[in-house]
Structure 1
Amino acid sequence: MSTPQARLVLVGGHESRQGADLERLPALLPGAVVTAPGRPLHDRVRALLGSAGGPVAVLPMTWGRDPVAVADTARTLQWLASGDARGRVVLCEPFGTIDHLVALLRTAAARTAAAQSDAALVIAAPKADPFDDAELHRVAHLVRTHGAGLEVGVACVGADPDLAAAVGRARLLGADSVVVVPAGFAASSPVPAALDGASFYGPLLSDQAVARIVTERVAAAAHGLEHGRDGIAEGLEADHGHGYAHSHEVVPGSGGHGHPHGHSHSHEHPHQHPQDGATAFAPVAPGPARADASASARQ
């Protein structure tokens, strides 16, 4: 007897403007619904659990810059997955990681340099909390250091002037043109028509590639659920160490706390993601820019 197909819920945080940048995806993922974390997610999943059908698979749509949304999603599901719903809800692994994001942004830098050697890159994303915005600056530094020799700026976009200021800085540094590349799921240009000298790179991945990766994540989660793994416990730890509240003691006597558990901060990824020119997620080792396996991902 075949297992009923999982029903999919895509959860979007600040990287997708609370899901607004994901609304185009259900056209390629029949039956999928898009929601923001918190109460909207709770209501969506509860409604699906109250109807007939297979298990509910919840996928956090993050590139690794929104661990709070992953943990909040897990807390919502922990409450919902009790009682009669136990075994009917599964939390998928997040869509992507910081390594994936850096690889795709490096590809964008290499392509931009090949087409416009006098251009600069501005990595843009919706404004979030200070920690996630700081992570965006770290990502930009990695792209700049191991990129294609371009000037790389950052725009944490809360209003048009944020992006205009970043573009203006790049122009003052000598760039004849500026290419704005999203660090989230945006497919439409955030560049105001009046912003001279700036153009939009386009989405990091084609919608078809995004849908393929989502399908892989859901299939892996459904397989885990068949073996009693719902992913919720792992999700609850997603924001461990995120923000001031969990800071380790730096100055003696300043506070902080000890940890009976170990930490793993390795950036090595022993697993490989299936590649066929459409998904093309692969870890990137530090070094000069090159034609990463992810270069074909947007095709």
Structure 2
Amino acid sequence: MGPATAVRVVLVGGHESSDGADLVRFEDVGERVSVAAPGRGLHNALTAFLDDGETVVVLPMTFGRNPTMVADTAKTLKWLAPRHPGRLALAAPFGQPDHLIAWLRTAANRARSVDIDTALLIVAPRSNTFDEAELHRIAYLVAAHGALPEVAVAIADDADTLSGAVQRLRRLGATRVAAVPAGFAESLPVTDAEDLAPLMSHSAVRRVVRTRVADALTALAAGSDGIDQGLAADHGHGYAHSHAFEESQGHGHSHSHPHPHTHADGAAHTHGHPHEHHPHEHHQLQH
């Protein structure tokens, strides 16, 4: 057996990290850590690393709110993997929505420790309808199981938009507003709200990254590069997967949807559970 090749880690960022700009500070995770956004830049970077003889682990930096980015990343890897067998792996995403809920609840508890009447404002840049809707669902769950009386979402790309969201909460009666990012931003635009960024400490992010990379390398050694799982990441995301029309026409089918489960060790595991769709009967009118 020859000497082990060097391992390159590529952190891929989408709208949860300003297309990777918020990830640059995590390049200290290891000696060979790079940041890229999906698309041609990622393709070119991976090609260069692989041509240099490195083994590459690509880690989608998402809390589960950007499955399209994961699938797009997997498509790039699917193209390159056959040319570099055994040297390219797609790690499991950094986190799942369950993890994001847990960290946002932690932020709510931090805010509560100062003032139990604080309103929490969860901030994210504009992305797309479905990912933004998912954030509203997450905020509802944080509020339902959290420590604060008011939890709201601000889709804000600048200080003016964020300030407007803060003022709306004040008009609703909030005497104190704390803002926290729903992603990897190190800070938020300046407003009169308390800035609770970052969502996770630097050391916590590094710890998760190292765990995902180690798991991906173990799987790669066993013959699994994770790419096919990544290609299916956006299954069921958006209008395309709606069964409303099928069911209204009486068509039924059974298939599995992956459901993430967060276990006591903090790792998210995805299992497929069958969802049965039963056909609706057609009744012809008798004349």
**Count of residues in correspondence between the two structures:** 268
- Corresponding position: 1:143 with 2:138: no
Q: CA deviation at 1:204?
A: 1.4
Q: Separation in 1 of the partners of 2:194 and 2:27? A: 28
Over residues 108-144 of structure 1, what are the superposed CA-to-partner deviations in whole Å (9 max), with x where a residue is unaligned?
Answer: 1111112122321100011110000000101100011
Q: CA deviation at 1:88?
A: 1.0
Q: Separation in 2 of the partners of 1:251 and 1:233? A: 27
SS at match of 2:266: coil
Q: Separation in 1 of the partners of 2:135 and 2:74? A: 24
Of residues 9-18 and 105-114 in structure 1, the stretch that sits farther from structure 2 once superposed is 105-114
- Corresponding position: 1:36 with 2:30: no
Match of 2:262 in 1: 269
SS at match of 1:153: strand
1:132-281 to structure 2, matched below 5 A, reads 132-190=131-189, 192=190, 195-196=191-192, 198-249=193-244, 252-253=247-248, 261-265=255-259, 268-270=261-263, 272-273=265-266
Q: CA deviation at 1:260?
A: 5.5
Q: Does the CA contact (< 8 Å) of 2:56 and 2:89 recur in 1?
A: yes
Over residues 25-63 of structure 1, what are the superposed CA-to-partner deviations in whole Å (9 max), with x where a residue is unaligned?
Answer: 11333220000011111011011011033x100000000
Question: Which residue identity lines up with residue 120 of structure 1 in the other structure?
Answer: A
SS at match of 1:263: strand
SS at match of 2:58: strand
Match of 2:94 in 1: 95
Q: Separation in 2 of the partners of 1:269 and 1:101? A: 11
- Corresponding position: 1:81 with 2:75: no
Cα gap change, 1:153 to 1:76, in 2 (>3 Å): same
SS at match of 1:24: helix
Cα root mean square deviation, aligned: 2.2
Q: Separation in 1 of the partners of 2:253 and 2:127? A: 28
| Larger Rg, first or second structure (1 or 2) | 2
SS at match of 1:40: helix
Question: Which residue identity lines up with residue 155 of structure 2 in the other structure?
Answer: C
Cα gap change, 1:258 to 1:75, in 2 (>3 Å): farther
Over residues 186-224 of structure 1, what are the superposed CA-to-partner deviations in whole Å (9 max), with x where a residue is unaligned?
Answer: 11232x2xx33x120121111122111111111110010
Question: Which residue identity lines up with residue 74 of structure 1 in the other structure?
Answer: A
| Structure 1 consecutive aligned stretches of length 4 or more whose deviation exceeds 4 Å | 250-255, 257-260
Q: Does the CA contact (< 8 Å) of 1:67 and 1:239 recur in 2?
A: yes
Q: CA deviation at 1:148?
A: 0.5
Match of 2:276 in 1: none
Over residues 2-35 of structure 1, what are the superposed CA-to-partner deviations in whole Å (9 max), with x where a residue is unaligned?
Answer: 6334210000000001001001111333220000
Q: Separation in 2 of the partners of 1:209 and 1:109? A: 18
Match of 2:284 in 1: none
Q: CA deviation at 1:251?
A: 7.5
Match of 1:61 in 2: 61
Match of 1:293 in 2: none
Of residues 116-125 and 153-162 in structure 1, the stretch that sits farther from structure 2 once superposed is 153-162
Q: Separation in 1 of the partners of 2:217 and 2:26? A: 20
Q: CA deviation at 1:86?
A: 1.7
Q: Separation in 1 of the partners of 2:75 and 2:147? A: 41
Q: Which has the higher strand share?
A: 2
TM-score by length of 1: 0.84
Structure 1: tracts of 5 or more residues without a match: 275-280, 283-299
Report sequence identity in percent. 51
Q: CA deviation at 1:168?
A: 1.2
Structure 2: tracts of 5 or more residues without a match: 270-287
Cα gap change, 1:65 to 1:163, in 2 (>3 Å): same
Question: Which residue identity lines up with residue 257 of structure 2 in the other structure?
Answer: H
